[in-house]
Amino acid sequence: MKIALVQINPVIGDFDYNCRKILDACDDAVQNGCSLIIFPELAVSGYPPHDLLERPAFLGEHNQALDTLCGKFPEIDVLVGCIEQRQKTDRGKKLYNSAFFIRKGHIIHRIQKQLLPTYDVFDEKRWFEPGMAPEIIECQGLRLGITICEDIWHSEIGEYDLDPVEALFADNQQIDCLINISASPFQRDKESVRHRLFRNICTRHQVPLLYVNQVGGQDSLLFDGRSLLMDAHGTIRAKSLGFTEDTLIVESDDWSGNLHEPAEETGLSAVCDALVMGIRDYVGKCGFKTVVLGLSGGIDSALTAALAVKALGPGNVFGVALPSPYSSDDSMEDAEALVKNLGCNFEIIPISNLFASFKESLQPLFGDSPSNPSDLTEQNLQARIRGNLLMALSNKFGHLLLSTGNKSEMAVGYCTLYGDMNGGLAVISDVPKQLVYGLSRFINREKEIIPLRTITKAPTAELKPDQCDQDDLPDYKILDQILEMHLEEHLGVKEIMNRGFSKELVTDVLRRVRINEYKRKQAPMGLKVTSKAFGYGRRYPNVQNFKG
């Protein structure tokens, strides 16, 4: 039979919108002769709904939407991710994260997710009860083993006693195909891990796998889609596009289909596509149409602007240069060259007079101490003047303000609260500085979009004469290595020192990370592309003094 794997981009809580997508996909699948259609995890509500699951009205609308769907489905079997309410008399959480198998308008099978992740960005045990024993369903003569997202990750995560996949194959049960419906977020190089995991399962049990993943940006999480068919030999025989809605039709007779994109799509291309999708979805789903950002002539703002133009189109991106007394002619030239290459809107608002006015107003309180450009107070004043002006433009014209700081700066506090940290979305706050350079060169792979000098010159905030980032920070090549070991591998001072770094350097970097937690708690939401981003998935106290 023909099976349709449909990765949709839902909007959490917009049940009418999500159901229209589901029904439209069903109609298309019927037109293409499909007998079964499969949707991602929690496709009706969108994933992750978080504490909306505590709202009776949210659950009521979900159930009403599901009832309406069942009454409108065409003649096709449907496997779709849903919220399932448990009996009020049952102990434990009141909900299951379930997959419903629906035939002719009736729910024939309810399969509950068994492994509920509670690490990094996941907290599913807060809302859901673990499911019952795994279930095999029959469809058109095929026996299908159904799993939901984490259920298939037992061997990779290593913290669960139960293995739902192995349980499906217990007692030599015949299974013709394993199915996994997911809302699995993207992170850099995760696809290779995913494929290795799938390959081990398929070859161990000599069974094909159908994997259907959500796509789209949801707050900080980016879902890459890239649904696939892997055969019993571990070969990818069909695969959906990444980072966009797509339908993949596979044949069960010989377990074949089409490759809409290469079997392996990793590296800079995937990160770039993820960030572009994240901008587009965050802006659009939040009801904005346009964005504004400061353009300093530096690489961080240049990369952010290039990604925003790719996501939204040049007419919807407004770049603003805000030169101070310490801004170089080179930086202004680079900012102007960038907007010429991008074709986006551009304005220049000098801040020298405002800066002088602020210092004059503060002089009676500051006393007779001479004005010192190296004083952090004066440096931060410039950043905050810029932040105020950009927020004013955001308020007046309804633009979403994009902040442009990278992960390396955010980690060590090389940023100004209520200044360059202002914004509604921090596009590259999970992109380390070295990856900023890599993405910029990737964007320039066919023609120069980001001016070459922007990429090659020494990074600087230009808040004092002849300033350079490396006056205050280690070289970014070294800093990023230490930060990755600390933030993503969770290593402390001694472990990092054992990898060849001096105690003085490591202690200083980790001290900066520790004392700047309060800044990151007040930062705008960022788009997650690494295994450990600042934000929801990293919950450290502001007040703590552990130095290890």
pLDDT at 463: 78
Inter-residue contact 251 to 229 (CB < 8 Å): no
| More confident call, 471 vs 42 | 42
pLDDT tens across 15-30, in order? 999 999 999 999 999 9
Residue 352 φ then ψ, to 5°:
-60, -45
Angle, vertex CA 142, rays to CA 140 and CA 148, nearest 5: 110
Query: Mean per-residue pLDDT for 329-345?
Result: 96
Distance between CA atoms of residues 218 and 48, nearest Å: 8
Q: Which residues contact 547 (CB under 8 A, 6 or more apart)?
A: 493, 507, 510, 511, 514
Angle, vertex CA 89, rays to CA 85 and CA 95, nearest 5: 20
Query: Mean per-residue pLDDT for 502-531?
Result: 97
Residues forming CATH 3.40.50.620 domain(s) in the chain? 272-521
pLDDT tens across 450-492, in order? 999 999 998 887 777 777 777 788 999 999 999 999 999 999 9
* Beta sheet of 177-182, edge-to-edge order: 136-139, 142-148, 177-182, 209-213, 228-230, 236-239
Amino acid making up residue 285: K
Q: Quick check: 266 pLDDT over 70?
A: no
pLDDT at 465: 79
Q: Quick check: 136 pLDDT over 90?
A: yes
Catalytic residue among 21, 34, 113, 124: 113
pLDDT at 407: 98
Query: Mean per-residue pLDDT for 193-216?
Result: 97
pLDDT at 370: 63
Confidence of residue 85 (pLDDT cuts 50, 70, 90): very high
pLDDT at 105: 93
pLDDT at 548: 83
Q: Quick check: 278 pLDDT over 70?
A: yes
- To the question of domain 272-521 being in CATH 3.40.50.620, the answer is yes
Confidence of residue 374 (pLDDT cuts 50, 70, 90): low
Residues forming CATH 3.60.110.10 domain(s) in the chain? 2-252
pTM of the model: 0.96
Confidence of residue 214 (pLDDT cuts 50, 70, 90): very high
Distance between CA atoms of residues 519 and 539, nearest Å: 13
Cβ neighbours around 452 below 10 Å, total = 13
Is 448 in the active site?
no
Please state, rounded to an integer, the average pLDDT across all residues of the chain.
95
Distance between CA atoms of residues 218 and 169, nearest Å: 35
Catalytic residue among 149, 177, 202, 344: 149
Is 19 in the active site?
no
Domain formed by 2-252, architecture: 4-Layer Sandwich (3.60)
Q: Which residue has 């298939």 as its token pair?
A: 152
Catalytic residue among 19, 41, 82, 177: 41
Rama region for 252: left / alpha / beta (φ>0; ψ in -120 to 50; rest): alpha
Q: Which residue has 């009403």 as its token pair?
A: 64
Q: Quick check: 373 pLDDT over 90?
A: no
pLDDT at 261: 86
pLDDT at 315: 98
Is 149 in the active site?
yes
pLDDT tens across 283-322, in order? 999 999 999 999 999 999 999 999 999 999 999 999 999 9
